[in-house]
Structure 1
Amino acid sequence: MRTTNLTNKGHEDTSSYLFKLIKVIQMDDASLSAALSREHHALLYVHQSRNGEETAQMHYAAPYTPFVWKPEAAAQPSSCYELQFACYSPKNNNYEPHLSPILPAHVPISPFAGITDLVKELVQLQGHAMAMQLEQMKANIKFQELLLELMAGSAEEKDGLTEQGIEYSRKYIEQFYASEITREHLAALAGLNPDYYSRAFKKKYGKTPIEYVNQVRIKHAKQSLLLSNESFRTIAHQVGYSDEFYFSRKFKLETGMSPTFYINKIKMTDKIASLKHLTTGHLVALNVQPYAAVKNNIYPIEDRLEDTINIGQSTPELEKLLEARPELIIMREHTHEDLSLKEQLYNQIAPTITLPYHQDWRIHLQSIAKAIGKASAANAWLEQYEEKAERIRRKYAQKIEGQTFLIVGIGAGEMCIYGKRNVGTVLYGDLQLAVPAGVEQIAHYQETNVQALKQYDPEHIILTSYRHDGSERMNYAINREVQQLFRQADWQELKAVRNSSVYPMYQRQHLYTCYTSLSHDLLLDQMDQLLESYISK
């Protein structure tokens, strides 16, 4: 099949190319990870379901190139197919395999009614293709229709595709910064010619593509310099530089200081901005009062932050953070893949440490401590914590052996069960209290209702806050919910309620539920008091 002339704004002219469908493959995580070995062009069709809403996406990758796509956390692919095809371009009165990209990495398909049906037809035809040559021909014709629709759509939406192609190339840099990256390869991912791509990228992000690559590499190098014990040589290789000398030159060009000077400067600073209660709790545990932090009643430790600049009530306000002029910013990553534009600006305000969401809280504490020169203090704190946990564990082990503890969060008109993270990491992990059957499957929390609590029927219930916003209105709402809870027959039938083994901890908002060292230490003390009162009844 030959296509019509669709070249626009730097997109490649494919008017005289030929295309042939090779095969259709149902994809899974394993086959997606092996995509780099593919020798053909490919389209990745993804049909997803998110919160009951059905969506379809089409992604493109050139030979030996990965798809610049990851499934969203809340969206589960119900079907995923890779359509591999060959492309031939004219050369010297002949046709030769064409390996350069012919489409942007993401091809919008929502405007095209029938795209999904075309893909389904191809899947069905390919199911018979091994046995019948006629079906192979039909499949190839259907594929030509599909490709024509996609390319025609690309031509009609060239402005949007240029923007999307450039954005996908930026995402590629963020994900594959440690690989060898050239301007030509990035332009190919975007489906644009290199000169036009460079101009468009700089217009959008204020830097050339390669300048952006170096910025991302240095950003990750900063993290490694502060949080790891790796050599400069190892860090250089980890972020994509061939040797430590070239890395040092690039680092100084980007930051104005050598890697060694940078490490020492951060360790000496007391102008630390904490953007999350989690990181604030770690700093306070290390006896470090943040220079600036998000402060509110959700995490009520105002007495420990008297001299701390307030940079926001719920999230950091960029203007206040700029005015504070911190020398180090500490935050925890979000659960979604992409950072917002505001969050990307943090690194431009000051060196920023981002703690991985799924990392253990002890590693969080030690990482922060290493960066600010408090490694010995962190080790001493953890040693005291482990000793306290072991003392409390032994104190009550025989008296409550086998008795299960359920952690129930109460909010305004809603309820949850906390699992192994946050409060659970202390109760079920450090204190080794018995976990009700089924709760071990809950990683963080799970919304529930009173009727569902019957399946757990624990000997003890810890009542704490759920989604408390720190306001007096929420305090009132939670107190009202608790009062109504105790009037319900289903609640009164629970073993823990009948035995008066329900322990309220919701009065202190999220002081005990935050996944941080300070909260866990305070929770140990609180549990010691609660268990002592239970034993002495």
Structure 2
Amino acid sequence: MNKSEQIAKYIYKIEDVKRKKNKNISSLTEHTRLYTLLFMLDASGEIEIDGLITPLHSQQVLVLPPGTSVKHQAPRNSRIDYYDIQFHALHQDEQGCFVPADVHFPKEISISNYHFLLGKLTEMENFLNNGDPWDAMKGNLIFQEILMVLFKDALHKEHTDRNQMVNKAIDYMEQNYPYSIHRDKLATMAGVSPDYFTRVFKKTTGKSPVEYLNEIRIKHAKQLLLSTNDSMRSIAQNVGFSDEFYFSRKFKNMSGKSPMLYIKSMKQTERIASLKPLLTGHLLALGIEPYAAVINRAYPMTEGLNNTINIGELAPNLEKLMSVKPALILTTQYRDFDKSSKEKIYDHIAPTVTLPFFEPWRVHLQTIARLVGKEQEAYDWLRRYELKCDQIRDRVHRKVGTDSLLIIGIGKNKLCVYGQRNLGAVLYGDLQISIPQGVEKISHYKEIEPDELQQFEADRIMLTSHKHDGTIDTDESIARRVSILFDSEQWRSLKAVKEGSVYSMYNSRHLYTCYTSLSHNLLLDQVQLLF
């Protein structure tokens, strides 16, 4: 039973209510006999509770257990106006009798609905002072309502504050795991004592802060072990461990395997889940069909994966991903600064390697090759690709010379100009076809209106797809948009259109526009046909 359920189950009965104001009680020390609720209407100075000083302010509620030593310390001539409410808290014992309860109320409550509660207090006080037993009963019922409002809001806020405190600590550890992080520092950041911080953290996560931090470090170490050739010492230091021997012991304790055995087992695994089509393309180039993958008709390369478990179309379905129990998850991260809540869950399903989205595609291929023990295959693939580029580059240059080529993407609602990523990486980078003026400033793509096409002044145009979702509806929308574009004055006035130098492959969806080794190799073949 949690604290909210416990407090809601007790019975409360008022013993006495006093409103105290304009009293200089700086030297008065009292000991509470019952539970005491101090509702501050207007207050300044301090109150000493069992030797601990608490600043006083208006619209503040303090709840004191029986036997508490209380001493007010108010400046001379200061105003103080508050309700002092003494009450019993009772619970039912095993024999069915109501006996005094040991209740752990919130010690201090900030009031968010002050005027409502003040009205209830005034109403309660009037009923209790009438001398009528039925009015006294009604006054006690109003007191129950006051307690419900106070504690329900306070406990909800306390729970929310605790969760926020723990989440901020976890985010800090995720961002700073390579550095020295101590419990005391995390507690200071949260504004609480180290012991309290540890209790709350462990209750929320099931682990101590140190255990959680080590989990984060080991998780990142697994990525480095699989994706780099760094030494054990370098990896240990990069994730925050002082030396490789302690790191190895901790790694084995937490994963059940030594670092070297872990690397060997992961390189031999066939249970790889690919969460992005571009990563699937790299796996296929290395001769590996993923165990599970996001499969979408927008990316034709994934449609022939007969033995691959489909875990989603546009994004992975978490339930499916968990049910297939992959040994390794591959994904990309668009942002450098944070992970989404969904991305954090991947780490709890299986070891997850996250490749930075903006890394060159050759680096992606080589990184994945190291993960799956296919370094030689990647080297051979890239060597064949470079030879193919050399041959096609000579043929294309004999055909187009120094003509510039504009790559236009046609989507359901938008046009775009592709820059130096995706197709541009092959056409402008590997084949060294001239880039139109203005395109050199576009790293990925830029969405445009038809009347903006004239500013690029290209000698040739290649038409492809943009933001295709894999549906027939989008195929039909793109076909209509192409028809409208071809009939427009803006299109017919373009130099490349007038000279008949337009190459269409917008029906290919994202077969060629995916930034992956397989798509780039297929694009080289298509270029030979188009030119």
* TM-score above 0.5: yes
Mapped partners of 1:266, 1:272: distance in 2: 9
Within-5 A mapping of 1:281-430: 281-302=281-302, 304-335=304-335, 337-430=337-430
TM-score when normalising by structure 1: 0.69
Deviation string 1:487-517 (CA, Å, 9 cap, x unpaired) is: 1101110011111211112212111111110
Q: What is the match of residue 167 of structure 1?
A: 167
Mapped partners of 1:158, 1:14: distance in 2: 18
Question: Which residue identity is paired with 1:371?
Answer: L
Q: What is the match of residue 445 of structure 2?
A: 445
Within-5 A mapping of 1:143-222: 161-222=161-222
Question: Secondary structure, in 3 states, of the residue corresponding to 2:295?
Answer: coil
CA contact (8 A) 1:168 1:189 kept: no
Structure 1 position 168, deviation (Å): 2.4
Sort the Cα spacing of 1:176 and 1:498 in 2 relative to 1 into closer, same or farther, 3 A: same
Q: What is the match of residue 459 of structure 1?
A: 459
Within-5 A mapping of 1:71-150: none
Sort the Cα spacing of 1:496 and 1:216 in 2 relative to 1 into closer, same or farther, 3 A: same
Question: Which residue identity is paired with 2:437?
Answer: A
Deviation string 1:316-361 (CA, Å, 9 cap, x unpaired) is: 1111112211111111113373323332122222221111112111
CA contact (8 A) 1:289 1:304 kept: no
Deviation string 1:428-468 (CA, Å, 9 cap, x unpaired) is: 10111111111111111111011111110211111111111
Question: Which residue identity is paired with 1:402?
Answer: T
Question: Which residue identity is paired with 1:464?
Answer: T
Q: What is the match of residue 258 of structure 1?
A: 258
Sort the Cα spacing of 1:472 and 1:449 in 2 relative to 1 into closer, same or farther, 3 A: same
TM-score when normalising by structure 2: 0.69
CA contact (8 A) 2:470 2:509 kept: yes
Question: Secondary structure, in 3 states, of the residue corresponding to 1:464?
Answer: strand
Question: Which residue identity is paired with 1:168?
Answer: K
Q: What is the match of residue 508 of structure 1?
A: 508
CA contact (8 A) 2:283 2:290 kept: yes
Question: Secondary structure, in 3 states, of the residue corresponding to 1:338?
Answer: coil
Mapped partners of 1:209, 1:199: distance in 2: 10
What is the CA RMSD across the aligned residues, in angstroms? 2.4
Unaligned 5+ runs, structure 1: 17-155, 532-537
Structure 1 position 301, deviation (Å): 2.2
Unaligned 5+ runs, structure 2: 1-43, 57-155
CA contact (8 A) 2:280 2:302 kept: no
Mapped partners of 1:182, 1:14: distance in 2: 28
Structure 1 position 179, deviation (Å): 0.4
Mapped partners of 1:314, 1:160: distance in 2: 33
Question: Which residue identity is paired with 1:506?
Answer: Y
Sort the Cα spacing of 1:370 and 1:13 in 2 relative to 1 into closer, same or farther, 3 A: farther
Structure with larger Rg: 2
CA contact (8 A) 1:282 1:517 kept: yes
Aligned pair count?
388
Mapped partners of 2:496, 2:157: distance in 1: 62
Deviation string 1:172-213 (CA, Å, 9 cap, x unpaired) is: 111110101111111122222222222322333333221121
User: Which shows bigger deviation, 312-321 or 156-165?
Assistant: 156-165
Sort the Cα spacing of 1:433 and 1:13 in 2 relative to 1 into closer, same or farther, 3 A: farther
Within-5 A mapping of 1:218-233: 218-233=218-233
Structure 1 position 304, deviation (Å): 3.6
User: Which shows bigger deviation, 298-307 or 265-274?
Assistant: 298-307
Sort the Cα spacing of 1:206 and 1:416 in 2 relative to 1 into closer, same or farther, 3 A: farther
Mapped partners of 2:338, 2:418: distance in 1: 27
Question: Secondary structure, in 3 states, of the residue corresponding to 2:510?
Answer: coil
Structure 1 position 411, deviation (Å): 0.8
Mapped partners of 1:14, 1:515: distance in 2: 61
Q: What is the match of residue 484 of structure 1?
A: 484
Sort the Cα spacing of 1:337 and 1:6 in 2 relative to 1 into closer, same or farther, 3 A: farther
Structure 1 position 418, deviation (Å): 0.9
Sort the Cα spacing of 1:359 and 1:302 in 2 relative to 1 into closer, same or farther, 3 A: closer
Q: What is the match of residue 238 of structure 1?
A: 238
Mapped partners of 1:472, 1:488: distance in 2: 25
Q: Indicate yes or no: 2:444 matched with 1:472.
A: no
CA contact (8 A) 1:492 1:498 kept: yes
Mapped partners of 1:277, 1:4: distance in 2: 65
Q: What is the match of residue 271 of structure 1?
A: 271
Identity %: 49
Question: Secondary structure, in 3 states, of the residue corresponding to 1:446?
Answer: strand
Structure 1 position 390, deviation (Å): 1.2
Sort the Cα spacing of 1:157 and 1:308 in 2 relative to 1 into closer, same or farther, 3 A: closer
Q: What is the match of residue 31 of structure 2?
A: none
CA contact (8 A) 2:47 2:55 kept: yes
Mapped partners of 1:401, 1:174: distance in 2: 52
Structure 1 position 162, deviation (Å): 4.5
Question: Which residue identity is paired with 1:449?
Answer: E
Question: Secondary structure, in 3 states, of the residue corresponding to 1:288?
Answer: coil
Question: Which residue identity is paired with 1:231?
Answer: S
Mapped partners of 1:325, 1:372: distance in 2: 18
Q: What is the match of residue 496 of structure 1?
A: 496
Sort the Cα spacing of 1:188 and 1:459 in 2 relative to 1 into closer, same or farther, 3 A: same
Mapped partners of 1:523, 1:6: distance in 2: 77
Sort the Cα spacing of 1:424 and 1:14 in 2 relative to 1 into closer, same or farther, 3 A: farther
CA contact (8 A) 2:334 2:358 kept: no
Mapped partners of 2:491, 2:54: distance in 1: 69
CA contact (8 A) 1:165 1:191 kept: no
Structure 1 position 217, deviation (Å): 0.6
Mapped partners of 2:168, 2:252: distance in 1: 29
Mapped partners of 1:5, 1:396: distance in 2: 84
Question: Which residue identity is paired with 1:316?
Answer: P
Sort the Cα spacing of 1:463 and 1:528 in 2 relative to 1 into closer, same or farther, 3 A: same
Mapped partners of 2:266, 2:334: distance in 1: 24
Mapped partners of 2:413, 2:193: distance in 1: 56
Mapped partners of 1:465, 1:301: distance in 2: 15
CA contact (8 A) 1:6 1:14 kept: yes
